[in-house]
A and B are shown apart, each in its own frame.
Chain A
Amino acid sequence: MALPIRFCLLVCGLFVAAGAGAMTLTVQNEPHLAQARALVQEALRVGGLAVDMVDSPKANERRNVALISEGLTHIDMMPATPTRLELVRNGKLRMIPIPLDRGLLGYRVNLLLESRRDMLAGVRTAEDLRAFSLGQNVGWMDVEIYRAAGIPTKEIKDWADGEFALQMEAGFLDLFPLGLEETLTHFLPHFRGKYPQLTIDPHVIVRYPWFRFVWVSPKPEADEVFDALQRGFDKMVANGRFLRIWRQYRKPPPRGVFAGRVVIDIPNPFYGYDLVPPKYRHLLFEDGAR
């Protein structure tokens, strides 16, 4: 091929590449999801897709599901729920079952009033927990898990700033369980800013299969995104980049957290640990108790 023709093709190729630009994706973004968002961003890059990410609107789980199934959000990073799994089965949502929080979400520690810090000192089994009243946000899947285990659970609307402390003082609630790692690193200091009377229970950790996955819109325009994420996460898991990025943002709970705390396993009536495919299962946190 003549040199001028080659030159022209090169120039044209550069123009095409420049004109293609980055794909704009609407992605969930919340303060406690920094590591999840970083992992998704890296996976897309590694998967070969240049994207510009804009935040999806702040919403609860039901709205998140509606947004992503309608294609208004391209990617979110939420725990697996029966609703989401059902949508996946029906082709209305796509799931990449990589445990973004390494299964730590299934380790639940109870927030309670400082004045009643040792309320759970005698609790050893799930049956023992039935004497207490738990609070959870409306629509959370945890509600069904606790209720399936026979633990009374009430749904409240406002929790994100620790408002449940007032309901505890009113005697409406006793406990408000959240993920162990996110509570230690984010929620507890955040809640105590407004409600310093809150603390975490030092006696019990509840554990059930509970994973934060990556979810992708079922719309055709997200096909390329889904493929890129699959490729990217596979590569990141294989080359260890997944764990390296994870550790930049999160760290496993120190062994001391488990010392003196009884770990009570309760089943998740909707899925088990096998929801995480074998290729990602080694990412799950091992505390040695299971």
Chain B
Amino acid sequence: MTAEPPWSDTRPRRPLYRQFIGQLFVPLVIAFLLAAAGTVFIGYRVELAAQVSHRQELVRVFSHALVKPLWDCDSMTSQGVVDALASLPTVSGAQVQDLCNNLSLKAGEGASVQTEQQQYSQHVIYVDQQGRQYTVGELTVDFHPASIANAALDMMWRYLVLFFVMLGVMMVGAILVFRRTISQPLARFQAAIRTGVGFGGDDLPRLDDEIRKHNDELGDVMRAYDELMVELASVIDRLRDNERALMEIARLDPLTKLGNRLVLEEELSGAVARAERQQTIGCVMLIDLNRFKPINDTYGHAAGDAVLKEMARRLSSSVRRSDTVVRLGGDEFVVIAENLQRPYEPQVLIDKLYRAISAPLEYDGHVFRVGASIGAACFPADGTNSVTLLAHADHAMYANKKREQ
């Protein structure tokens, strides 16, 4: 069972643009509704004012048309004008007081309930050539009740439709802009990051290019990320160096700089596998120095260390570059020789190693002579795993040591 990372979330994924639109939608709708309501209200007031103005103008025009017939006391023509006025769709009734003939000329029907907004009156005044004014009648016009509310309602629907279309366009535009300015750069940023860590292909953008493109907050984030990654890479490099050093420390013998038991295990397993694969012969030789302990006890550890280092050098120079020399610990060494062609060749190598070890060495004015007991095991003849081979070599080495004693 694997533990989920701390940032894992089981909730459905919500892209940024959806969050942006979601948070923008309600205020925008409210704003648009307020704008629509305001527009309708203003339109209503304007329409009302226009209607009042239109009615006043209508009354003024017909009053003007009535001046001549009323001045001429021509009630027939006056009646015709009143009839024409009453026939207008917005007019429910009209009446003119003909002062000359003392008649009330009517047409149409007045509204059932008259209000100041629906009834307009105006004196009909004749102005003679000398500018004198004579009131010749009074025109009263009854208009149908205003249908401004219905007009405003119609207008409101039109505006609502218009505003919702605008809202839709704005939202789509906001999505496109958001995706263009935020989502897509973020996606490229993500791709550039993946490129940086080896996930991307050649077609993916490079982070440096993206940073150069964005001289904005997003660029700042990318730059900070880049700096963080550089720092992180530096840390990782240092960790790797440390790891590599630790690995070396763990695999090498610090005194002789030869491989240790770990290296022996790896190399021996590899050599056995290669020998099997290539149908060749290899040998592992276990070497235990003789007369080393008295040197160590008599001349000190420094002398012992010098002997060990010299033995390591002689062993390494006695074998091929492809062969392996390791120190097991104390005065024990192991040599792994691969690809031996002839059956007698291991003994030739053992003899060579004896000679190298037995040669005298000088240390601090003293000449030391050490010997060695060497046990060999060849593979695949003596075994095909390191444990068996080393055990076999160990037996052989001790057998030799007893024989020499």
Interface set of A (CB-CB < 8 Å, partner B): 54-55, 57-60, 62-63, 66-67, 72, 138-139, 157
Contact = CB atoms under 8 A, between A and B. Distances in A.
Interface in B146-197: none
B73 A55 contact: no
A63 B100 contact: yes
Secondary structure at chain B's binding surface: helix, strand, loop or mixed? Answer: loop
A67 B71 CA distance: 10
A138 B126 contact: no
B233 interface: no
A57 B72 contact: no
Interface string B45-77: 000000000000000000000000001111000
B99 A66 contact: yes
Contacts of B100: 62-63, 66
A66 B72 CA distance: 10
A138 B74 contact: yes
15 contacts: A54-B130, A55-B130, A57-B126, A57-B129, A57-B132, A58-B129, A60-B72, A60-B73, A62-B73, A62-B100, A63-B73, A63-B100, A66-B99, A72-B134, A139-B73
A57 B74 contact: no
Contacts of B134: 57, 67, 72
A157 B73 CA distance: 12
Q: Please name the 10 residue pairs, one residue from A and one from B, whose CB atoms are nearest each other, closest first.
A: A62-B73, A57-B128, A66-B100, A60-B72, A63-B73, A63-B71, A62-B100, A63-B72, A63-B100, A66-B73
Contacts of B73: 60, 62-63, 66, 139
A139 B75 CA distance: 12
Instruction: Name the interface size band of chain B.
Output: 10 to 19
Most buried by A among B73, B99, B132: B73
Nearest to B70: A63
Most buried by B among A55, A66, A67, A139: A66
Interface string B323-364: 000000000000000000000000000000000000000000
B99 A57 contact: no
Contacts of A67: 134
Given A57-B134, A72-B134, A62 B128 contact: no
Nearest to A62: B73
A157 B74 CA distance: 10
B140 to A, nearest CB: 21
Interface in B226-243: none
Given A66-B100, A72-B134, A58 B72 contact: no
Contacts of A55: 130
A58 B71 CA distance: 10
Contacts of B71: 59, 63
Contacts of B126: 57
A55 B129 CA distance: 10
Interface string B119-149: 0000000101110101000000000000000
Given A57-B134, A62-B73, A63-B72, 12 more contacts: A55-B130, A57-B128, A57-B129, A59-B71, A59-B72, A62-B100, A62-B101, A63-B71, A63-B73, A66-B100, A72-B134, A138-B74
Contacts of A66: 73, 99-100
A66 B98 CA distance: 11
Contacts of A157: 74
Contacts of A57: 126, 128-130, 132, 134
B72 A62 contact: yes
A55 B130 CA distance: 9
Contacts of B74: 62, 138, 157
Nearest to B126: A57
Contacts of A63: 71-73, 100
Contacts of A58: 128-129
Nearest to A55: B130
A59 B132 CA distance: 13
Contacts of B72: 59-60, 62-63, 138
A286 to B, nearest CB: 36
A56 to B, nearest CB: 8
A185 B101 CA distance: 34
B123 to A, nearest CB: 15
A67 B73 CA distance: 11
A138 B100 CA distance: 15
Contacts of A60: 72-73
A133 B292 CA distance: 172
Contacts of B132: 57
A60 B73 CA distance: 8
A207 B266 CA distance: 160
